[in-house]
Amino acid sequence: MKNIGMITALLLSLALVGCSGIQQSEKSPNSKEEKSEACNADNNDESSIENNTNEKDNLKEDGGKNKVDAHINEILETMTLHEKICQMFIVIPEVLTGVDKVTMAGEITEKKLEEYPVGGMIYMEYNLVSKEQTVEMISKTQKFAKKNHGIGMFISVDEEGGKVARCAESLGTTQFKPMYEYKEEGTPTAYQNAKKIGSDIKQFGFNLDYAPIADTWSNPENQIIGTRAYSDDFEETAELVEAAVKGYCDGGVLTTLKHFPGHGDTQTDSHVGIATSDKTIEQLEKEEYLAFERGIKAGADMVMMGHITMNSVDKLPATLSYEMVTNQLRNKLGFKKVIITDAMNMGAIANNYTVEEGTIKAIQAGNDIILMPMDIERAVKSVEDAVANGTITEERIEESVKRIFILKIQMGLLDME
C-alpha cells in the first residue's frame, strides 16, 4: 500500500489550504450539537475557558493560581519532549501513515499516532467519501489520539464556502457562492453563512476550520484570493470578518483568520512560488491589519501566517519572520492565542527551504503550529535536534503547547479532570 513517491507528488499538487488503516468499526455519531464557547469576543486568552463552567470559582486554586494553568503544567510534566513537539504539528493523514489517499482509520493510523502523537489532522476532499465514512474515520482517529495522555486532536478542514469547500464538494453540505458575492448583504449574511458552514462541518467531527479569509481583494490582478475575500474594501472586510468569526463560533468550530499580514495585494500564488508585498508596516496598519484586528477582537482562535515575502520589512516570508509573527501579530496586534503557519508544502516554502530549515525558522519566528510538513519524521527530529543543541529551548516548545492545550480544553479535547 505504501507509495512514498505518490505521496510526495500528492503533497506538491495540493493547491489550497487552509485541508489509514486496515480495519473499520461501527460508526460513532457525534453527540448532540452544543454551542461552542471557544470563541468569545474580547476573550483573547485562557480566561475565556471560564465561560465553559457554571462553577467559575472552581477554576481558581487556593492562593489564586489558575487551575487551568496548573492542570496544563501537570500534563506537561508527564510528557516527553517528543510528545510535546508532536503537538505542534497538524498533518494530512497520508504524511502520518505513509498510505496514499487515506479514507479510513485503523491499525496503521493507531500505530503511527502512538509514534507521532500530532496535535491535529487536516483532511482534503479526497479523504471524504461519504458522511458515514467521514464520521467513522474521524471518530476512530480521535479515539486513537486520546490514548496519549487523553489529548484529543484538532480535526481540521478548509471550508470557506465558494471554491474552497471540501465538505460541500465531497459530502453534499450547504453550497455557498464565494464570500465576495455576499458583500452587499452585509454583516447578517456574513454571520449566518459562517454559522451554517460551522454547524455543517461539526456534524462530522471537525472542530477547526481554516476560515474566515481576512484578506482584502485590493489588487484586481490577484487571483489566488480574489472572490474568496469578503470585500475589496478594507473597512468593509473588517466588518464582515468580525461577523463571520462570531458565526463560525456559534456554529461550533474554532476559527482561523488568514493569511496574515494579508494576501490580497500580491500577484503571485504562494502555493507555487514566492509571493511578495512592497507594503510598509505603516500601510499595513492602515489597511490589511484592520480585518485581523476586528477578527481578533471578535474572538478568533487562530491566526494563519501567509507565505508572503515582505520586501519593505525583512525580505522574508511572513511565516518565517520574527518581525511579522512576534513583533507585529503577537505584540502589536496583541494576539494571545494560537498562531499557525500556512501549509509548509506550498511552493513559497518547499521550493526554498528544506523541511528542517522551514520548521525551525517557523518556530523561531513565533509560530505555535506547523501545518502540513512534507515529512513529519524529519520535521519532528529537526526540532528535537534544535532543543538538544540549544537552538530552541524546551520552554519555547512548552509556550506553544500551553496555547494549544488551552484551545483543546475549550473544545473538550482535553479534560480538566
| CB distance 119 to 154 below 8 Å | yes
One digit per residue, the tens of pLDDT, for the chain of length 417 reads 444 444 444 444 443 334 333 233 333 323 333 344 445 555 565 445 444 433 334 444 443 348 899 999 999 999 999 999 999 999 999 999 999 999 999 999 999 999 999 999 999 999 999 999 999 999 999 999 999 899 999 999 999 999 999 999 999 999 999 999 999 999 999 999 999 999 999 999 999 999 999 999 998 888 789 999 999 999 999 999 999 999 999 999 999 999 999 988 776 555 656 788 999 999 999 999 999 999 999 999 999 999 999 999 999 999 999 999 999 999 999 999 999 999 999 999 999 999 999 999 999 999 999 999 999 999 999 999 999 999 999 999 999 999 999 999 999 999 887
- pLDDT value, residue 223: 75
Tell me, yes or no, if 149 is annotated catalytic.
no
Query: Which candidate in 200, 271, 368, 375 is catalytic?
Result: 271
Asked if residue 53 is part of any domain, the answer here is no
- pLDDT value, residue 264: 84
3-state secondary structure of 340: strand
Asked if residue 103 is part of any domain, the answer here is yes
Q: What is the DSSP pairing of strand 164-165 with strand 159-161?
A: antiparallel
Alpha-carbon gap, residue 32 to 371, rounded angstroms:
30
- pLDDT value, residue 24: 32
- pLDDT value, residue 62: 42
Alpha-carbon gap, residue 95 to 20, rounded angstroms:
11
| CB distance 310 to 282 below 8 Å | no
Question: Which alpha helices (H) appear in 146-233, and where do they start and end?
Answer: 166-171, 186-202
Q: How many domains does the chain have?
A: 1
Tell me, yes or no, if 200 is annotated catalytic.
no
Residue with cell 492545550: 405
Asked if residue 135 is part of any domain, the answer here is yes
- pLDDT value, residue 275: 86
CA angle 10, 404, 122 (to 5 degrees): 20
* Domain limits for position 300: 4-22+60-410
Asked if residue 88 is part of any domain, the answer here is yes
Q: Count of CB atoms within 10 A of residue 186's CB?
A: 13
Asked if residue 37 is part of any domain, the answer here is no
3-state secondary structure of 254: strand
Please name the residues in contact with 5: beta carbons below 8 A apart, sequence gap of 6 or more.
none
Q: Count of CB atoms within 10 A of residue 346's CB?
A: 28
Residue 151, CA distances (Å) to 87, 146, 359, 397 in order:
9, 5, 23, 17
- pLDDT value, residue 416: 83
Asked if residue 32 is part of any domain, the answer here is no
First to last CA, the chain: 40
Q: What CATH number is associated with residue 114?
A: 3.20.20.300
Q: What b-and-e string marks burial along 396-416, b requiring 16 or more CB atoms within 10 Å of the CB?
A: bbbebbbbbbbbbbbbebbee
Asked if residue 29 is part of any domain, the answer here is no
What is the signed CA dihedral for 114, 137, 195, 180, rounded to 10 degrees? 100
Asked if residue 196 is part of any domain, the answer here is yes
Alpha-carbon gap, residue 219 to 266, rounded angstroms:
7
Angle between helices 289-298 and 234-251 (to 10 degrees): 30
- pLDDT value, residue 83: 98
Query: Which candidate in 232, 265, 342, 368 is catalytic?
Result: 342
